[in-house]
Chains A and B, each alone.
Chain A
Amino acid sequence: MTMGKAAITGTGMSTIGRNTGRPAMDHLLEAAQQALASAGLTRADIDGICTYPGKTDNSPGQSPLGTGEVRGALGLKTRWHSAVPDGPAQMAPIMVAAMAVMTGQARHVLCFRALTESSSQSAGRRASIAGAGKPQIGGWLSWLVSVGAMSASNWAGWMATRYFHEFGMTREHLGMVATGQRQFALMNPAAVMQKPLSMADYHDARMISSPLGLFDCDIPIDGAAVVIVSAADAARDCARAPLRIEALGSALQSQETWDQRPDLTTMGAHDASADLWARTDFKPADVDVLALYDGFSIFVPMWLEALGFCGHGEAKDFIAAGNIGPGGRFPVNTGGGQLSGGRLHGFGLLHEACQQLWGDTGARQVADAKTAVCGMGGGFIAGAMLLNRD
């Protein structure tokens, strides 16, 4: 589809952490300057800007910055700008930026995601609890939050319960996801979690929403990430090998709900993934590095199946065989993921995949990584992307 007409040319990530006390804009500026430097661009080259979801206080610290503030702070004179609250997951700004450069609306688009969920929590207003503190709520959230299913851990929890029931997966398998990603995190100085996590630690941790325990849930942080999407001809002039956007997948066949999809052992991810592979000659076997949304550990096996790395119900064996951890054939979330690295809503996972393709990941580098697949989102929210370099 896009067939390399758009490319990622630079990425940056701030020094993320918990309760950093730093303003969101401080994180954003750090990430933006890093991204510009990595692309060999200056702010004068940036003529487009895009973000997910745009400025909102739906839950504390979820998205403190809009495009207007970032344009202002960086003194950008843009030809195109957009925020995408309603689209194929956290991938949406990358997708619309790719379309913007392919249609000539812009040459270099600065895509960003900033969160201050860690330092924004306050009494009665937890991060990630949408609508809390408001008297009334509408839309799809109302069917969940109003009946007490306030946290996405509840929604992912009941998906996991059904998945366990049908396919015999156990917490041991999810523990392999969590401990494997922690092993990666120990090789990544930027990851929030820097202590080993044993399987015993995983099982001993408190339950959050069965069958998901503490280490099945990602970690709210303060931080920002920036990804620069460029037109292919403009990308050739950048400092690093362009990471061509080979294909995008954003199909969604089911409703905007977390409980009505006929088969809750599948997600929007399955629709978006089928769409992705229909638009490219690449196959899962061509992939070197995977960035899979891990807001909750259960999403990792579901994304593996959605993307066709194994069959439906086979992810537990695929994981147990050591495929996705350090040294595995299909390494997933090599920076530690959101489970051990911190939740940058997919942008951190994408940043890591790009660093892998550029060979910049030190001890955790996958040898000669050229192709990465990114699957973002959970439940009905999903977007998929395939990146490739020469």
Chain B
Amino acid sequence: MTAESRERVPEVPRTRRGPMVAAGILLLIPVVALVWVPSYNQETPKLWGFPFFFWYQFAWVFLCAAATWSAYRLTLAARRGTHR
């Protein structure tokens, strides 16, 4: 490596704001949904014998994974073509 490469150090990459805000909201939704306990601490409706309280939280495992993955794609898109 030469001194030249040291000068090519990427500083803060340019980032488009829109996708980053969208990613932030996607990440916030599962947190708010699960911290807001009164919205789901009930027993009905049941699903396959599971009270609502339990199957609802199991459902959020997948919803949160989907939200996180979408947020990941959005952060990539926000910096595409600007970073490296």
Q: Decide whether A and B assemble into one complex.
A: no
B-side residues, CB < 8 A to A, are none
